[in-house]
Chains A and B, each alone.
Chain A
């Protein structure tokens, strides 16, 4: 079974695709059979970043053609050990993927025969995006050190927290729970999972236990991308501390990735940034972050989508 790394972030342009392709490259370079999947269907561009400008097939074939298995939609890239499932040619959004299709996709991803699978998820907090993020406990959050991006990544994290709670309840119980939270904690509490979990601890102690186990199994990571010289280098640690202290979520800060205009240059020249500018600060940062992804610790647990 492959190690699955869902990569999400609150905002378009924060560098999810760039990081997915770079981390994929690094993993492949170390001899791991690595697959990157573009699930940012409305704004797919992972194929361009891994050197496949015109993919012959892609994710849409799996969705549209009954005979296609997910592994049949994989294309090779110019890089050894690096494979792609492209999201190009998809004119629908993951958010709109019907339920059955989503379950079918999740199941197929889990069965893929690769060492590492990286999922490039789109921005936004649609249920489908959240479900893809929760496919493994190794989700990676990307943000830039800008308030807008941070606001969105916090929103995404809370949404994921809620979504995981939601898995434990049926629709009516969950609705009742939401109402109870608002009664106990006031109007502003509807987007506060930390309030909901307190209610659960009171009302459903056994589910509370279950959720605690689930949350402590998460090995989420946070990467701050496009860090410029004058930015606060401690931001990632501080965010991680905030999340731990106020949400009780352990999200490990995996590192800063420096901003570098050469990223833009490399993309424009359609060459791999890591190959073209291997000695930049940004490339070193990517290597550092990559190390943690190539040598994951512990066993991978996953939900069963039966």
Chain B
């Protein structure tokens, strides 16, 4: 049977886990408002007005408390004292970070793991081949591969650095248009690839690549 709504703790009020991150809290708050607001269809006739007001103010308090780091910490401690929250669960709340959907752009760029950035840049500046490729109006996957080989970077290294799946990288380098990921992803992928090899300017080059792919796929 349901607990009395006013007896619920703030996490239960908002229907979130104790380790919810700010984004989830905000989302849950909006969802609760949609259900409990006076004009809402979903709760039409479900409560008397005064009960609805109580619920709404509870939702409000829950949100304000959980969204503020300090207030939330204090509240968690209170819950732990009341035995409603176990410590292990709470501990993970600091460890968990929001996971970005594209974990490509998250890591700034190739770090030492690959090769030294300076060394790469020098090579790029001195290579006739790379200079020629970058001077073209087009930039296809095969060009990327040529540059990579010229720089002596392995495809495995790129995969490791960018976290892009191997088969995606291979499809890109082989210009296997049918197997390429959707454009929104591809754009991110190629940017990471370019950054990984210290090829500049990333924005212009990635656009050039996307245009080339678009043309290829029309054939």
Contacts and interface: CB of A to CB of B under 8 A. Distances in A.
A201 B1 CA distance: 9
Contacts of A197: 1
B178 interface: no
Contact of B5 (A188, A208, A246): A246
Contacts of B15: 241, 245
The number of chain A residues touching the other chain, given as a range, is: 20 to 34
A197 to B, nearest CB: 5
Contacts of A155: 45
A151 interface: yes
Interface of B: 1-2, 4-5, 15, 34-35, 40-48
Contacts of A201: 1
Main secondary structure of the interface of B (DSSP, over half): loop
Interface string A154-198: 110000000000000000000000000000000010000010011
Main secondary structure of the interface of A (DSSP, over half): helix
A150 B44 contact: yes
Contact of B43 (A194, A198, A208, A242): A242
B45 A147 contact: yes
Find the residue from A212, A215, A241, A248 having the highest chain B CB count within 10 A.
A241
A281 to B, nearest CB: 21
Given A147-B41, A188-B48, A212 B5 contact: no
Contacts of B5: 245-246
Interface in A232-255: 232, 234-235, 238-239, 241-242, 244-248
A232 B2 contact: no
A147 B48 CA distance: 15
Given A241-B35, A242-B35, A150 B2 contact: no
Nearest 10 pairs between A and B by C-beta? A238-B42, A248-B2, A151-B45, A248-B1, A147-B44, A238-B35, A197-B1, A150-B44, A239-B42, A235-B42
